[in-house]
Chain A
Amino acid sequence: MGRLHTEEMILNMGPQHPSTHGVLRLKLITDGEIVSHVEPVIGYLHRSFEKHAENLEYQMVSPFVDRADYIAAMNNGHAYAIAVEKMLGIELPPRVEYIRVIMAEFQRIASHLIAVGTFGLDVGGITPFIYCMRERELILDLFEMASGARLLYNYIWIGGLAHDLPAGWVEKAYEFLDEFDFHVEEYNRILTTNKIFIERTADVGVLPVEVAINYGVTGPNLRGSGIPFDVRKNQPYSFYDRFEWKVPVGEGAMGSVGDSWDRYMVRIEEMLESAKIIRQALDQLPAEGDVKAAIPKKIRPPKGAEIYSRYENPRGELGFYIRSDGTNIPTRVKMRSPAFSNISALNEISQGWMMSDVITILGSLDIVLGEIDR
């Protein structure tokens, strides 16, 4: 009898696939269920944000920034505003800074809720996702009250905010925070401590520290590998140095440090830390105050001025490199997107795992295609 002829199979996962978190195509080389190579093919959501930015005034860029990472629009707007304000050297009223921090942290919770919920979906649990969406709705209600929009807010403007907080907003925010810890406990009961979930995620897709640093992985994924690096702590911007909170890191509680479970757990803990920050910021929020700093109608940073501003987005370090030629239109706006760096490590950490694990690992990296493709 001759030997059975076997060969590896190329499998296209996506761009139409339920678990690629958007229009991502993964070219898998598979040997049965084992995956030997993963090649992410990106660009299906490319909207040439950077080229657009070269033809628009500084203020006109900020709505486009929201659309890059549509899951964390508030954070992106904040990052861009901070970068331009640093170029101009604008001092902001404290009320603005506090509201920005509150919004950014609420957005971080909302984004992590999606990450946690869809990760549950990827592993096969449907109910945790619905629970997460339930709490996210409440946050979106808060955003809607403040900005009028539920997904792309354009709330944080250069030099201030679009509107002041409406009456009753702060009380509603407190209400949410009072309930939130209990809900996180619910997620832990239904998903985090579930035996099957632990079996599926612990020790799967371990991201070693060297690999993470080589690929420029940041955010919860880096912290899941045990490195307590957080731009909010290491290079505090806005008012982040005024609050007490800690940077959660992966400890390998269920398997080894840097596995999918650790990356997931870091997000769960970060939501609680964000809730702490919001509570402190709400306590310290000045009751009265302007929400717009005095800035010129046309923003003209000095000729040749350039800046690279770092920001901690829910997915990692979001950087904006902006260069000015003295006019009110930037010459170059480069966005360092965290998810782009994070997904580049996918091939390295998912080789040799099974097809289901590739989905688990992809889910644990929490990518947003809008931000990768820009």
Chain B
Amino acid sequence: MIESMANWFLSLTWFPQMELASVKLLSVLLVGAGLFAFIAVNAIVLVYVERKVSAFMQVRLGPMRVGPYGTLQTVADALKLLLKEDIIPTLADSILFRVGPFIILISAIVAFAAIPFSPTVTAADMSIGLYYIVSISSIVVVGIVMSGWASNNKWSLYGAMRSAAQIVSYEIPVGLTLLAVVAMAGSLNMNEIIIAQGGSSNLFHWIPLPLPNWYMFNNPFLFIAFFMYIIGATAEINRTPFDLPESESELVAGFMTEYSGIRWALFFLSEYANFTLVAFLTAVVFMGGWQSPFETIFAAKTSLLVLLALALAWTGYVKTKANRLSIYPLAIIGLSTIAAWLFPGFAIWITEPGLFWIAMKVLSLIFLLMWFRWTFPRLRVDQLMYVSWKVLMPIALFNLIGVATWMWLTGEIQF
């Protein structure tokens, strides 16, 4: 993307004469600014979404006062945090205290460089994209330990230590599950992993459902790997049920206890950036990234009919069970089905790869993780370690062997 952007700049007639290196540098800066803007806006939107989702789960309304339906609430909160006094505790290690949040934020932003937003838009389409994301995003733990230690507060220290143990432990099963996918795709490049997930499924082709050839549906081992990855990723981004580092009822606010104002907001920003990053990574690695789930127009039309039937069944179930009419899923799927059957243009559009599909996948994953957070209690620290080392690790190793065996059986590799 940097290359093409630089070439585009140079092709402009009014653009001043510059060396290619300078133009490239300019492109890099612009792309970085764009990513940062994306992350900042994304965090503001997601905080609002999270508050609304939690409110609806808890029979409340959530923010309603600032702007229509409270849409400007998080903007107002962000402004308030910007204007607050920057407090650094007297006994804190002030350099580390200041640097900590930035390390967390930078590692979260930089990881987005390798995320493909659409077939053509990837900030840096590098050959080791997946490896780069996994390694860069693990720098977060340095920042967390730094700010927890520098706060000079026992609660912060507890939070930081828990966080270090947790993130380091969960990186292993997460890495192993991703390795299974890398073995399947034969590449670490994000776009190539996505391209490998095109076409029709080779396992479930006998099922009348036209399932997409995503890696999560590719074979039973990767199907398990998908759920393991979701569990591990939830732990890596410190969200409930694995939110021990910042567990409110135990550690006050964990490593964030002593922070206030904009520094605290940076933690929030990076938390949501990491959250989105994990959703993007899951979408790319297991759910076909920017690929459309429908291979052909016929597949799109029939799948939408099946989905409509499912939505009808769900609506009926909710109606009989809770005596409540859940109209929105039915309305959305119904309208898209009608549109797909009536307007050929719409049917073609939904079979094309693009930003729309990856955004849909990412948003559903984000909703799933929010759902976890607002329904589950929290694990204890030893149970957390148990899940990682004694449950996820062995299954991940077994899965890796399973995937290799599967590839050998289906003739994808030969010995």
B65 interface contact, C-beta 8 A? no
Q: Cα distance A197–B154 when bound, in Å? A: 27
Check A131/B377 contact, CB under 8 A, given A124-B241, A124-B247.
no
A126 interface contact, C-beta 8 A? yes
B247 CB contacts on chain A under 8 angstroms: 124, 356
Check A199/B383 contact, CB under 8 A, given A125-B377, A194-B377, A355-B158.
yes
B205 interface contact, C-beta 8 A? no
Residue of chain B at shortest CB distance from A353: B380
Residue of chain A at shortest CB distance from B247: A124
Q: Cα distance A124–B378 when bound, in Å? A: 5
CB distance from B202 to the nearest CB of A (A): 34
Instruction: Point out which of B241, B380, B382 has the most chain A C-beta atoms below 10 A from its C-beta.
Output: B380
Q: Cα distance A199–B158 when bound, in Å? A: 22
A355 CB contacts on chain B under 8 angstroms: 158, 250
Q: Cα distance A355–B157 when bound, in Å? A: 14
Q: Is the CB of B249 within 8 A of A121?
A: yes
A220 interface contact, C-beta 8 A? no
Q: Cα distance A191–B381 when bound, in Å? A: 20
A90 CB contacts on chain B under 8 angstroms: none
CB distance from A200 to the nearest CB of B (A): 6
Partner of B374, one of A11, A121, A123, A126: A126
B57 CB contacts on chain A under 8 angstroms: 127
Q: Is the CB of A130 within 8 A of B375?
A: no
Residue of chain B at shortest CB distance from A198: B377
Q: Is the CB of B375 within 8 A of A125?
A: yes
A178 CB contacts on chain B under 8 angstroms: none
Q: Is the CB of B375 within 8 A of A190?
A: yes
Q: Cα distance A76–B376 when bound, in Å? A: 35
Q: Cα distance A109–B240 when bound, in Å? A: 29
CB distance from B16 to the nearest CB of A (A): 56
Q: Cα distance A201–B114 when bound, in Å? A: 43
B76 interface contact, C-beta 8 A? no
Q: Cα distance A19–B249 when bound, in Å? A: 5
Q: Is the CB of A124 within 8 A of B377?
A: yes
B382 CB contacts on chain A under 8 angstroms: 33, 354
A121 CB contacts on chain B under 8 angstroms: 249
A186-199 vs B, Cβ < 8 Å mask (1 yes, 0 no): 00001100101101
B158 CB contacts on chain A under 8 angstroms: 33, 355
Residue of chain B at shortest CB distance from A9: B154
Check A125/B376 contact, CB under 8 A, given A196-B241, A355-B158.
yes
Instruction: Point out which of A122, A123, A356, A357 has the most chain B C-beta atoms below 10 A from its C-beta.
Output: A356
Interface hits, B341-379 → A, CB 8 Å? 374-379
B243 CB contacts on chain A under 8 angstroms: 124
Report the 6 A-B pairs with minimum CB-CB distance, sorted nearest first.
A124-B378, A125-B377, A130-B58, A124-B377, A123-B377, A19-B249
Chain A interface residues toward B at CB < 8 A: 9, 11, 17-19, 33, 120-127, 130-131, 134, 190-191, 194, 196-197, 199-200, 354-357, 359
Q: List 15 A-B contacts (CB under 8 A).
A: A18-B249, A18-B252, A121-B249, A123-B249, A124-B241, A124-B377, A126-B58, A127-B54, A127-B57, A196-B241, A196-B376, A196-B377, A199-B380, A200-B378, A354-B382
